[in-house]
């Protein structure tokens, strides 16, 4: 079979259009998602093509697979191998007992192999290839037979066993999710902020229009003289660090004897639609540091930033360094991007056109809707965080089990448009933070070479939002004494991993070397069973100073008092 180059090029362009259209249609099904912005970001950076020889080979393999599929006997019981697959969507034995469903799975798997092979064979720049692979993943996740009642034998069986009650329950679940604006990942009725999540005892001791500052009640008779401030990401609620008492990073810090403060971000509404990156650094990060010092009377404090909170903290520290302010004794960065060279799967969205569109939409004012952000992050893992719940909630009529982390994941937050657009351009697109003087924040040209304080840098090995290489890259730009630790699992599960659970592993390296590539660091690292929390606790203790009597009241300094009990009112605001 012969193909000329023009035919190969035409085929490539048609497939690219099919993938783009499929992605747009998929997002249309899950409003509210900004389909226009995502469609813009998914356009190819250059023309795509195939080697005629490789295209011919793939077509022959596909036709051979179709021929074998049609020649297979699909009588009942003859295709048991369709069940028991490693793909959990089709692992139940019912898939092998129903001829129609077994055939649909086999045909789907043939299609998946072919499309994935074609995506791998595309001749284009690497970013376009990544976008095509991502689009193929979305298309295949959406078109799986398990997503359709006509083929999903497990859902059919449950409907028969319940006399149709599962279908009625599924319809009720669907209507409820449409009403609330997102797919239920957990039984949200089982959780209440301040009642069974975010329960560590404390009080709000300061607030402005951007954040509330929470001080936690000491659990020890003595505390370290240098107080400890945590900055969570403002794209999520802070209580990821305070889910339940047994997995609360905040409670753990308090129990270790640290006088602990946490920034609880306000969920922006239109009154904050004009807020900028500078506003958040000056009036939140730097203000929180100064307020903790003023309340405690300490000359220096220790700090921690998580994800985007870490990026913001690094900006605040660079501004303070430019001003000759040494208020911060140490910083911990958890799954944080400072060098945006390696941004993982999110890179498929980011280019000049996408960023310019966002600037046009909201750069001068507006809100980036929290549900848009949440949907985007869910579709980064479509089978686990989207279609799994479509099948369970709607086809099978199940109520997902209660899970605190997924409750938090559904509690979305908005972002001010100017803040978001500036962040995209200057960091994700142009990576200016690592360029000395490359970006001006709060009137100061930032130079991370001046941020010379000791740092603890943590990255998760399977993180798809902040890849391990992206987290490790901070060691190459921060000049002070540093420690890098790698944990197992992903962006959240790797961080929220209390020692008592005895789960996962972490890796350290004691020779003080930080080679340029993370793989070279890993090659010289040692694996340790269990959580990294104890390693971090020992490190922070070395920077916390002597112990002093724990305060008996909140906000002890003049002008500061308990405004309301933790977790405060800002964290309860809904997007």
DSSP secondary structure string for all residues of 418-474? HHHHHHIIIIIIT--TTSTT--EETTEE--GGG--S-EEEEEETT-SSS-HHHHHTH
Please identify, among 161, 189, 224, the residue that sits at the C-terminal boundary of a domain. 161
Q: Is residue 370 part of a domain?
A: no
Interacting residues of 176 by C-beta distance below 8 A, sequence separation 6+: 184
Please identify, among 111, 130, 161, the residue that sits at the C-terminal boundary of a domain. 161
Same domain, 26 and 127: yes
Structure tokens at 282: 């000056």
Is 234 a catalytic site residue? Answer: no
Q: Is residue 130 part of a domain?
A: yes
Q: Is residue 459 part of a domain?
A: yes
Burial degree of 346 (CB within 10 A; 0-12, 13-18, 19+): middle
Sign of torsion, CA 374 379 384 387?
positive
Give the per-residue pLDDT at 10: 52
- 7-21, 220-234, 288-302: range with lowest mean pLDDT: 7-21
Which residue segment(s) compose the domain that 341 sits in? 202-348+415-572
CATH number at residue 443: 3.40.50.1820
Please identify, among 161, 185, 212, the residue that sits at the C-terminal boundary of a domain. 161
Q: Is residue 399 part of a domain?
A: no
- Asked if residue 26 has pLDDT above 80, the reply is no
Same domain, 147 and 242: no
Most confident of 14-23, 72-81, 451-460: 451-460
Same domain, 81 and 213: no
Q: Is residue 511 part of a domain?
A: yes
Give the per-residue pLDDT at 414: 96
Q: How confident is residue 36, by pLDDT bands cut at 50, 70 and 90?
A: very low
Which tens digit of pLDDT belongs to each residue from 412-464? 899 999 999 999 999 999 999 999 999 999 999 999 999 999 999 999 999 99
Q: Is residue 191 part of a domain?
A: no
Q: Is residue 62 part of a domain?
A: yes
Angle ∠(433,307,28) on CA atoms, nearest 5: 100
Same domain, 449 and 330: yes
Considering the chain, what percentage of its residues have pLDDT values greater than 90?
72
CA 378 to chain centre: 9
Which 3 state secondary structure label does DSSP give 565? strand
- Of 234, 307, 410, 442, the catalytic one is 307
Report in angstroms the alpha-carbon separations of 350 from 28, 421, 483, 555: 20, 12, 31, 43
Give the per-residue pLDDT at 46: 61
The domain total for the chain is 2
- pTM reported for the whole predicted model: 0.89
Same domain, 336 and 213: yes
Interacting residues of 29 by C-beta distance below 8 A, sequence separation 6+: none
Same domain, 142 and 233: no
The DSSP call for residue 363 is T
Give residue 366's region: left, alpha or beta (phi > 0; psi -120 to 50). left
Q: How confident is residue 74, by pLDDT bands cut at 50, 70 and 90?
A: low
Give the per-residue pLDDT at 380: 86
Same domain, 113 and 208: no
Same domain, 77 and 224: no
Burial degree of 572 (CB within 10 A; 0-12, 13-18, 19+): middle
Nearest-Å Rg of the Cα atoms of the chain is: 26
**In whole angstroms, what is the distance from residue 144 CA to residue 91 CA?**
13
Same domain, 231 and 151: no
Other Cβ atoms closer than 10 A to 313? 28
Give the per-residue pLDDT at 375: 85
Give the per-residue pLDDT at 20: 45
Structure tokens at 301: 């404090």
Which tens digit of pLDDT belongs to each residue from 210-236? 999 999 999 999 999 999 999 999 999
8 A C-beta contact, residue 533 and residue 497: yes
Same domain, 125 and 223: no
Sign of torsion, CA 76 77 81 83?
positive
Same domain, 284 and 153: no
User: Mean of the per-residue pLDDT values for the chain?
Assistant: 89
Q: Is residue 196 part of a domain?
A: no
State the average pLDDT over residues 560-564. 92
Same domain, 151 and 214: no
């Amino acid at each position: 079979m012969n193909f000329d180059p023009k035919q190969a090029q035409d085929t490539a362009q048609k497939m690219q259009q099919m993938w783009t259209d499929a992605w747009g249609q998929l997002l249309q099904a899950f409003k509210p998602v900004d389909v226009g912005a995502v469609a813009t970001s998914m356009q190819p950076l250059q023309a795509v093509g195939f080697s005629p020889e490789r295209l011919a080979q793939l077509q022959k393999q596909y036709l051979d697979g179709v021929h074998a599929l049609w020649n297979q006997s699909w009588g009942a019981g003859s295709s048991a191998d369709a069940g028991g697959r490693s793909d959990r969507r089709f692992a139940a034995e019912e898939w092998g007992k129903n001829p129609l469903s077994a055939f649909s799975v086999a045909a789907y798997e043939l299609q998946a192999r072919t499309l994935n092979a074609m995506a791998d064979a595309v001749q284009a720049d690497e970013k376009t290839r990544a976008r095509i692979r991502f689009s193929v993943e979305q298309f295949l996740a959406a078109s799986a037979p398990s997503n359709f009642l006509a083929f999903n034998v497990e859902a059919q069986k449950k409907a028969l066993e319940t006399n149709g009650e599962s279908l009625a329950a599924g319809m009720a679940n669907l209507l409820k999710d449409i009403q609330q604006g997102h797919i239920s990942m957990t039984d949200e009725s089982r959780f209440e902020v301040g009642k069974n999540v975010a329960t560590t005892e404390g009080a709000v001791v300061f607030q402005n229009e951007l954040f509330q500052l929470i001080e936690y009640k000491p659990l020890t008779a003595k505390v370290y003289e240098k107080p400890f401030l945590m900055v969570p990401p403002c794209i999520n609620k802070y209580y990821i660090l305070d889910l339940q008492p047994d997995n609360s990073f905040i409670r753990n810090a308090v129990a270790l004897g640290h006088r602990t403060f946490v920034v609880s971000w306000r969920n922006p509404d239109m009154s904050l639609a004009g807020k900028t990156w500078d506003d958040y650094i000056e009036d939140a990060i730097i203000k929180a540091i100064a307020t903790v010092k003023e309340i405690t009377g300490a000359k220096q404090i220790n700090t921690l930033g998580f994800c985007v909170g870490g990026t913001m903290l690094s900006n605040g520290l660079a501004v303070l360094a430019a001003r000759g302010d040494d208020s911060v004794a140490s910083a911990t960065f958890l799954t944080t991007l400072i060098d945006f060279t390696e941004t993982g799967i999110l890179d498929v969205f980011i280019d000049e056109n996408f960023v310019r569109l966002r600037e046009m939409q909201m750069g001068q004012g507006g809100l980036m809707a929290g549900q848009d952000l949440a949907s985007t992050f869910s579709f980064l893992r479509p089978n686990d965080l989207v279609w799994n719940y479509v099948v369970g909630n709607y086809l099978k009529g199940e109520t997902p089990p209660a899970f605190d982390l997924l409750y938090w994941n559904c509690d979305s937050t908005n972002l001010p448009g100017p803040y978001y657009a500036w962040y995209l351009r200057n960091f994700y697109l142009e990576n200016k933070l690592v360029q000395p003087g490359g970006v001006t924040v709060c009137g100061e040209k930032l130079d991370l070479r001046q941020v010379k304080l000791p740092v603890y840098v943590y990255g998760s090995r399977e993180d798809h939002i902040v890849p391990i290489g992206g987290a490790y890259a901070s060691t190459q730009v921060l000049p002070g004494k540093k420690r890098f630790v790698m944990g197992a699992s992903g962006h959240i599960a790797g961080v929220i991993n209390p020692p008592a659970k005895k789960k996962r592993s972490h890796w350290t390296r004691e020779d003080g070397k930080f080679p340029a590539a993370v793989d070279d660091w890993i090659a010289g690292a040692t694996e340790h069973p269990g959580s990294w929390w104890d390693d971090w606790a020992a490190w922070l203790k070395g920077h916390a100073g002597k112990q002093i009597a724990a305060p008996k009241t909140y906000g002890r300094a003049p002008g500061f008092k308990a405004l309301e009990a933790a977790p405060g009112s800002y964290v309860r605001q809904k997007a």
